[in-house]
Chain A
């Protein structure tokens, strides 16, 4: 079965940095584009970032709200995907989900999420 397990969340102050991780299993990770989607408390879903596969040069894409501050990366040898978040703002407070496509919707598989709180 597909599993996505996020880790690394926590409480940070504005302008600080945090790196969250996602461990994937149960599918051929190197063949899958990976995504981060976030959900602020009591709010809806927002796509954050995408990283494609090696044949696609690991191309990355970002929501305008995080462009220039967040960096998505992956390590195919470890089946891991990361989100480096710099210059965090209070509005980045959210549950961050690692997601992957599975042939039906763009976001077929979801992790349990990791909470990131940005507050002074």
Chain B
């Protein structure tokens, strides 16, 4: 199965700061998906097909990447962005998730 490694595991950012989360795949994947999860809540779809924002996602978010390296970027951090973000692939079965990146407000 394809293993997804996210970095960093935890990051703290100040409002207005630019944030980048990386997801590396153990084998090449065609697309990457991202989900946001806040404490006590179910995950929400956040980015699909590597770079497309899911419904309702603010345009300060963006996604990019190809092959084995993908990233999620927040152009200007806002307090509401504090959450855990997971990358996910389904280029190969079984679908797998990264271990998550916890984004905190500094």
| A107 CA to B37 CA, complexed, in Å | 13
Count of interface residues, chain B, beta-carbon cutoff 8 Å: 22
**Nearest B residue to A95, CB-CB:** B42
> Known contacts being A47-B95, A113-B42, is A106 close to B90, with CB within 8 Å?
yes
**Interface residues, chain A, with chain B CB atoms under 8 Å away:** 44-47, 61, 63-64, 97, 102, 104-108, 110-113
Q: Which residues of the partner chain B approach A63 to less than 8 Å between Cβ atoms?
A: 94
Q: In the bound complex, do residue A44 and residue B98 qualify as a contact, i.e. CB atoms below 8 Å apart?
A: yes
Q: In the bound complex, do residue B93 and residue A61 qualify as a contact, i.e. CB atoms below 8 Å apart?
A: yes
> Known contacts being A44-B97, A104-B55, A105-B35, is A111 close to B88, with CB within 8 Å?
no
Digitize B12-47: 1 where CB-to-A-CB distance is under 8 Å, 0 elsewhere. Answer: 000000000000000000000101000000111100
Identify B54's interface contact among A44, A46, A47, A105, CB under 8 A: A105
Q: Which residues of the partner chain B approach A108 to less than 8 Å between Cβ atoms?
A: 45, 54
Q: In the bound complex, do residue B97 and residue A46 qualify as a contact, i.e. CB atoms below 8 Å apart?
A: yes
CB distance from A66 to the nearest CB of B (A): 11
Q: In the bound complex, do residue A104 and residue B52 qualify as a contact, i.e. CB atoms below 8 Å apart?
A: yes
| A102 CA to B93 CA, complexed, in Å | 19
| A94 CA to B44 CA, complexed, in Å | 18
CB distance from A62 to the nearest CB of B (A): 8
**Nearest B residue to A109, CB-CB:** B45
| A63 CA to B1 CA, complexed, in Å | 10
Q: In the bound complex, do residue A107 and residue B93 qualify as a contact, i.e. CB atoms below 8 Å apart?
A: no
Identify B97's interface contact among A45, A97, A111, A113, CB under 8 A: A45
| A106 CA to B91 CA, complexed, in Å | 11
Q: Which residues of the partner chain A approach B95 to less than 8 Å between Cβ atoms?
A: 47, 106
Q: Which residues of the partner chain A approach B43 to less than 8 Å between Cβ atoms?
A: 45, 97, 107, 110
**Nearest B residue to A47, CB-CB:** B95
A-B contact pairs, 27 of them (CB 8 A): A44-B86, A44-B98, A44-B100, A45-B43, A45-B86, A45-B88, A45-B97, A45-B100, A46-B97, A47-B94, A47-B95, A47-B96, A63-B94, A97-B42, A97-B43, A104-B49, A104-B52, A105-B33, A105-B35, A106-B33, A106-B88, A107-B33, A107-B35, A107-B43, A108-B45, A110-B43, A113-B42
